[in-house]
Structure 1
Amino acid sequence: MPHILSPTKEELSALAPLDRLELRDIVLVSTAHQADQAWAELSTSLVLGFDTESKPTFFRDQVSEGPHVVQLSTLRKAWVFQLFDARCREVVSALLESETVMKVGFGLAGDHTQIRRTLGVEPRKVLDLNVVFRKQGYVKELGVRGAVALLFKRRFLKSRKATTSNWANRQLSESQLIYAANDAWAALLVFDALGLPPGQACEP
């Protein structure tokens, strides 16, 4: 199989930005009632975009207590779950363990490790899109930005400030919500563009 190079930073910066989900398209889930409403909508989906966020670690060998946020998305709307409430944790765990709802994302191995440790569940029916692109010959992890550039000729905006922000805060900022939601949404957008069936999972 020929080796295919990922887009360079220069190539990415030359692209026009990709339109993203806005706050009106994002649901924050932090209470039991909100979790039940989210379950009613998400549990009937065949495929969801998926990602997690954790408070950064600052010391060598420091173990993350994350994930602090789990985000799931359809093509039109995203849900950002905070995990302080027991019902929020139950709904997230049920969706991650579901054999009928496929979850797709990028670079999910670390997410799986944290989910097992923090929530005590084993994510099922999960597709890591980096694995898909690796099988197509990409020598480095393409990631969400590379995949969006490849498929849509657009630049996926990711805020470095939001990346390293405190995801354990009970009050998430607007920029955090937009960042988290769009990470999950963009993964589903890529999956949809690839035309992959919502079938066999491909573990990270």
Structure 2
Amino acid sequence: MEWQPEASGMPQGLGHYDQHGASDYQHTHQEGGGFVQHSQWQYHTPDQETATAMPYVLDIPSDKVTMVDTPAALQWAGSVLRDSSIIALDTETQPNFTPRSPPHRTALLQIASRAADGTEAVFLIDLLALLPLCAEAMDSALYHCFRSEDILKVGHGLVQDVRELYMFYPQVAAFRRMNGVLEANAMHKQLDPEVVNMLSLKKLVLHYLNCSLSKGQQMSNWANRPLSSSQIHYAACDALVLLRLHDSMVLEIFEECPDFNIDDLLQDIDGPNPNAVECWQCGLILASAKAFKKVRCHHAF
């Protein structure tokens, strides 16, 4: 299912990203844009002339945003993701307004992808519709992408996202591990070593892109189907803006330190949480023993 926007988007934003075999760092500026090339990665950026904080909206064609809620759509998404050079990931979960109640399952996995030729797409994977029945198809679509060290993964708080994906969907082997992860706040700390507190995605977008990222749908009901057009726009933006953020921050890093190796910021994330606790009577799994004090499960202690 393709998303039909309520309003037209902005022109395409901060360029594209190519896998490249060069061994030396190069940095040139051209009229209307330029590129940064380092190790295996090449970063292209267009003219940067915005001066006001405008709302961030989707800047790719609407037919590039796909709601993935069938095995056929999942297979198509997998074929695109396997050919990606870089992906950005985010998740959405139904908020919990009932005190001491168990957390809800992750409802949506958003993946923005960019191929070597700069082609971009966004996939909104409906986990509630596809799992657990389509676990094998999910692995077929995501396993290679998540494990490959040739595909860069960009995120904001991906450790928690990956652990929650594995906790709620342990039958999906792809959620057990994610390799080659570049956290937005790791790039921010590289640019500002004195920083103590990590910034929210909204603050990072404002700081580096001079854009306002709407969070109005964050606390909406992500378990309702079908998702509203506002929810779809919000979810797609949260993933796609990570690609834009990556481009801007990496450019700044190489401008400050041309010899920097971006691989030094990469990490691998394990889905299984060593601190997770499972109730032996009801099967409830939570992130830690402390978390049990916040839910209506007194079996464990």
For the superposition of Structure 1 and Structure 2, which TM-score range results when normalised by the shorter chain? Answer: 0.7 to 0.9
Q: Structure 1: how far apart are the matches of 2:78 and 2:144? A: 9
Question: What is the letter of the counterpart of residue 201 of structure 2?
Answer: V
Residue deviations 1:17-52, cap 9 Å, x none? 234246443110011111111111111112111101
Residues 156 and 184 of structure 2 are in contact (CA less than 8 Å); yes or no, is this contact kept in structure 1?
Answer: yes
Name structure 1 gaps, 5 residues minimum. 1-13
* Offset, 1:74: 2.8
1:71 equivalenced with 2:110 (yes/no): yes
Q: Structure 1: how far apart are the matches of 2:230 and 2:179? A: 30
The corresponding residue for 1:192 is 247
Report matched runs for 1:158-169 at 5 Å: 158-159=215-216, 162-169=217-224
Partner SS, residue 163 of structure 2: helix
Partner SS, residue 178 of structure 2: coil
Question: What is the letter of the counterpart of residue 15 of structure 1?
Answer: A
Question: What is the letter of the counterpart of residue 267 of structure 2?
Answer: C
Partner SS, residue 72 of structure 1: strand
- Which of 181, 185, 200 aligns to 1:143? It is 200
Please report the RMSD computed on the Cα atoms of aligned residues, expressed in angstroms: 2.5
Normalized per residue, the structure richer in helix is: 1
Report matched runs for 1:1-204 at 5 Å: 15-21=53-59, 23-74=62-113, 76-83=120-127, 84-85=129-130, 86=134, 89-90=138-139, 91-120=141-170, 121-135=176-190, 136-137=192-193, 138-159=195-216, 162-195=217-250, 199=263, 201-202=266-267
Partner SS, residue 191 of structure 1: helix
Higher relative contact order (CA 8 A, sep 6+): 1
Normalized per residue, the structure richer in strand is: 2
Question: What is the letter of the counterpart of residue 240 of structure 2?
Answer: W
Q: Structure 2: how far apart are the matches of 1:203 and 1:134? A: 18
Count of residue pairs brought into register by the alignment: 189
Please identify the structure whose Cα radius of gyration is greater.
2
Q: Structure 2: how far apart are the matches of 1:203 and 1:88? A: 23
Partner SS, residue 157 of structure 1: coil
Residues 54 and 167 of structure 1 are in contact (CA less than 8 Å); yes or no, is this contact kept in structure 2?
Answer: yes
Q: Structure 2: how far apart are the matches of 1:67 and 1:98? A: 23
> Identity of paired residues, percent?
24
Residues 87 and 111 of structure 2 are in contact (CA less than 8 Å); yes or no, is this contact kept in structure 1?
Answer: yes
Residues 54 and 68 of structure 1 are in contact (CA less than 8 Å); yes or no, is this contact kept in structure 2?
Answer: yes
Residue deviations 1:130-156, cap 9 Å, x none? 222134233322232222222222222
Partner SS, residue 124 of structure 1: strand
Partner SS, residue 226 of structure 2: coil
Residues 23 and 174 of structure 1 are in contact (CA less than 8 Å); yes or no, is this contact kept in structure 2?
Answer: no
Distance 1:122 1:130, change over 3 A: same
Q: Structure 1: how far apart are the matches of 2:148 and 2:244? A: 21
Partner SS, residue 99 of structure 1: coil
Distance 1:26 1:164, change over 3 A: same
Q: Structure 2: how far apart are the matches of 1:131 and 1:61? A: 33
The corresponding residue for 1:8 is none
Name structure 2 gaps, 5 residues minimum. 1-51, 115-119, 171-175, 252-260, 270-301
Q: Structure 2: how far apart are the matches of 1:168 and 1:192? A: 32
Residue deviations 1:99-151, cap 9 Å, x none? 33221111223212201212322222222212221342333222322222222
